[in-house]
Structure 1
Amino acid sequence: MALTRRSRTAIGIVLGVLGALVTGAAIAAAVTAVVFARRVVIPPLKRDEDLQLSSVDLAGGRLALASSDESRMRGRYGLWFENDSGHARIGDVVDEDDRSVRRTIDSVDFGRLDRARRGRINSWYHLGPWEVADDYENVLVETALGPAPAWFVPAPTESHDWIIQVHGRGAKRQEGLRAVPPARAQGWNSLLVSYRNDGEAPESEDRRYGLGGTEWADVVAAVRFANDRGARRIVLMGWSMGGAIALQAFFRSAEVRERLVGIVLESPAVDWVDILRFQGRAAGLPHDAGEFVARVLSAPLGGVVTGLAAPIDLEALDAVARADELDVPILLMHSVDDGFVPIEGSRRLATVRADIVQFEVFEGARHTKLWNHDPERWTALLGDWLAAR
């Protein structure tokens, strides 16, 4: 959590204003909260390799990982190693004890897994659309910031039904690939998009996440792309922060609502203030740190320390508060042990709009890993819901 010289200077400006009003301990807490606020909106350039690889047996198709909540997860996952220069796919747990977890190795796609000592698991089991369909097209969606790359995967037969995949924070288009097979099975085209500051699409001037408050405009551009290619019915599917982006596209754009027939939300960010509280507690911050982070992100002065070009209106991003505006069917899937985005926001949304929300609760799947944990149930839920549209 080291700070750059620019960060220390910016934080000093804010603390200079507040210093006369707070104690030394409160200043330290405020610094920590400001650093946390910056981490929320700055796209990660590098992901921590937080798993220790104890042993790798390529011939036997097995590897051992140090025991942790991540390494014990059931299901199939991608495994990145050697600073993301290597990638493998690992299968389910074979056996485990207090110190290590042994899993199958499904494949080594690139890199020297036998030399790796650390890695990280993620939910992208598939690396590209060529793995889930026999046809796809690299396309560009024209956004206000410039062309954003996307994958178009057509249905097996000509179709005017489109499902647009919006990945989450720190992720890329690969996150939505697991939804392509059930979509194709029901005759839906898939468009997997990129958006500003995700490492693929053009950057905004401030190079910061808007938590849905800015990225929604790129989803509107994706809907326009689909419309231009003959879409008559559109479903938006958002993962994690992508859920917030999809919902904001609905709330803010009549063009989106014109042909929208449903929304799918997977582990969605429904209430950012609740999420910030949850993550603050998980990081061991003081009890009210989440509220302080929310104020920093929302305040005009907050841009001094976060680098945001404009404050983030967290109230406008609260989908529960705006739930009465929703008027399309929603499939909402979330795990009780998410660990990153608490399920409570989804529960509230499902409760206040039980008339349109199909709420599916998973256990043991953690964050955006519902397909990995239970692919049969997840695939059937999405396929049946699309068929009903």
Structure 2
Amino acid sequence: MTGPRRAARSGASPALVAGVRVALTVLSAALAGILGVLAVLSTRVARRVVTPADRVADTRILALDTAAQTITLERTDDSVLPGRYGLFTSGTENYLKLGSVLAQDAASVKRKLLTHVGPQSRISRDAAFSGWYFDRPEDLQLPFSSELIGSPLGPCPAWLFPAGDGDVWVIAVHGRGATRAECLRAVPLFHGLGITSLLVSYRNDGEAPRSRAGTYALGATEWRDVDAAVGFARRRGARRIILMGWSMGGAIALQLALSSAHRSVIAGLVLESPVIDWRIVLDYQARLMKLPPAVKDLALGALGSEWGATITRAGGRIPFEQLDVVARADELRHPILILHSDDDGFVPSDASHDLVVARPDLVEMQVFEVARHTKLWNYDQERWTASIRDWLDRQGLIPAGAGADS
């Protein structure tokens, strides 16, 4: 029995049955729409993680006093920090060095200009606050040469600052969205200790060759380009090599220490604001962006799977389990110094603390406060310098004849 008679016997009117069907259709369409929106959002988030992007303006210039050589910036968590910093701009000046905070209120921060700006200068109001401070190797007034390091993808530009007898080298690795100029801050310390510095580039950073996909692998492939730099250093006479990495550069240095055929010459690692476990970082970033947990989970799932590589336009899956160095702590063989701020604001220090707990025999951590991501040198140069110098001394990595008080 079908149709109205069956509906009547069941106690349901034809109108009710039709209404239920319409409601189910609407709910199904709504659910499909929600899933579609989640899929679109998660895809955008996943692509953003692995896609190199141009520098983003994160503050505004409110006033420029060329007579007093001061600059007033919009107040942000970074622009209010004490210390010396840089500011990426556009117009007649593209980079300014900033000194101490002179005045501040709820909306603005006035700082001393350490780059002279003439009265005829015209600078865009949109700017990007930076911890680099030095943006050109010439700023250091130290002898250097430009080198090309043959990597699996082609020649990677590098800066070489020779020092001492060339026995001990530091290979400095910049972070995500940065270039080797980020590492210039460390060169004077190592040079004063007689340690040669090699500042390297790696695939897709805007200076080194581009991979086929043109995306980051978050350290899973980039380490091979830095490994080529280790080989370069060995051919130039290096017998002991220190790896130093900022942010994602720390992740790259750790992957190199775990995987390189040159492990025997690696004497130790110095990591500032490092990524130890990407899943912790991405979870933290998702919460800052107030993303629904479902979007975050879908994005991580896409990034970590082969099927998702097509959607994210990455060259392959991101092996999060391989990049989780806390989980792989038993594999570590080299002494490590971590410099990390509990107020980092971008890469939480949780995994750094966890790595100390997992390998207290190898890992030492200097915990900063107030300082923001990769800006520890800027915030407290004296402590930053002393922490690295003292650790190098304890590891026997300061060449004979170099002053430990440099």
TM-score > 0.5, shorter chain as reference = yes
Counterpart for residue 308 of structure 2: 302
Give the Cα–Cα distance (whole angstroms) in 2 for the partners of residues 124 and 194 of structure 1. 16
Counterpart for residue 369 of structure 1: 375
2:60 maps to 1:48: no
Which of 231, 234, 238 is equivalent to 1:224? 231
Which of 380, 384, 391 is equivalent to 1:378? 384
Counterpart for residue 189 of structure 1: 196
- Residue 112 to residue 39, structure 1, CA distance change in 2 (3 Å): farther
Give the Cα–Cα distance (whole angstroms) in 2 for the partners of residues 83 and 207 of structure 1. 29
Larger radius of gyration: 2
Counterpart for residue 285 of structure 1: 291
Q: TM-score, normalised by structure 1?
A: 0.90
Q: State the aligned residue count.
A: 368
Aligned partner of 2:88: which letter?
A: W
Which of 251, 257, 261 is equivalent to 1:254? 261
Give the Cα–Cα distance (whole angstroms) in 2 for the partners of residues 310 and 21 of structure 1. 33
What secondary structure does 1:334 align onto? strand
Q: TM-score, normalised by structure 2?
A: 0.87
Question: How far does the alpha carbon of each residue in 1:187-235 deviate from its partner, in whole angstroms, 9 at most, with x for none?
Answer: 1100000000000001111101000011010011000000100110001
Counterpart for residue 15 of structure 1: none
Q: Indicate if the aligned counterparts of 2:247 and 2:374 stay in contact, CA closer than 8 A.
A: yes
What aligned pairs does 1:1-389 form with structure 2 within 5 A after superposition? 23-44=32-53, 46-82=54-90, 86-108=94-116, 114-155=122-163, 157-255=164-262, 257-389=263-395
Give the Cα–Cα distance (whole angstroms) in 2 for the partners of residues 379 and 305 of structure 1. 44
* Aligned alpha-carbon RMSD (Å): 2.0
Question: How far does the alpha carbon of each residue in 1:126-171 deviate from its partner, in whole angstroms, 9 at most, with x for none?
Answer: 122222242111111110111110000011x322100000100000
Counterpart for residue 399 of structure 2: none
Q: Indicate if the aligned counterparts of 2:66 and 2:118 stay in contact, CA closer than 8 A.
A: no
Question: How far does the alpha carbon of each residue in 1:2-59 deviate from its partner, in whole angstroms, 9 at most, with x for none?
Answer: xxxxxxxxxxxxxxxxx99964334323321210110110101x22212121110011
Point out 4+ residue stretches in structure 1 off by more than 3 angstroms: 19-23, 108-115
Q: Indicate if the aligned counterparts of 1:273 and 1:291 stay in contact, CA closer than 8 A.
A: no
User: How far has the Cα of 1:109 moved from its partner?
Assistant: 7.7
User: How far has the Cα of 1:82 moved from its partner?
Assistant: 1.9
User: How far has the Cα of 1:85 moved from its partner?
Assistant: 6.0
Q: Indicate if the aligned counterparts of 2:93 and 2:121 stay in contact, CA closer than 8 A.
A: no
User: How far has the Cα of 1:298 moved from its partner?
Assistant: 1.1
Q: Indicate if the aligned counterparts of 2:61 and 2:127 stay in contact, CA closer than 8 A.
A: yes
Query: Which stretches in structure 1 are left out of the alignment for 5+ residues?
Result: 1-18
Q: Indicate if the aligned counterparts of 2:96 and 2:115 stay in contact, CA closer than 8 A.
A: yes
Q: Indicate if the aligned counterparts of 2:248 and 2:275 stay in contact, CA closer than 8 A.
A: yes
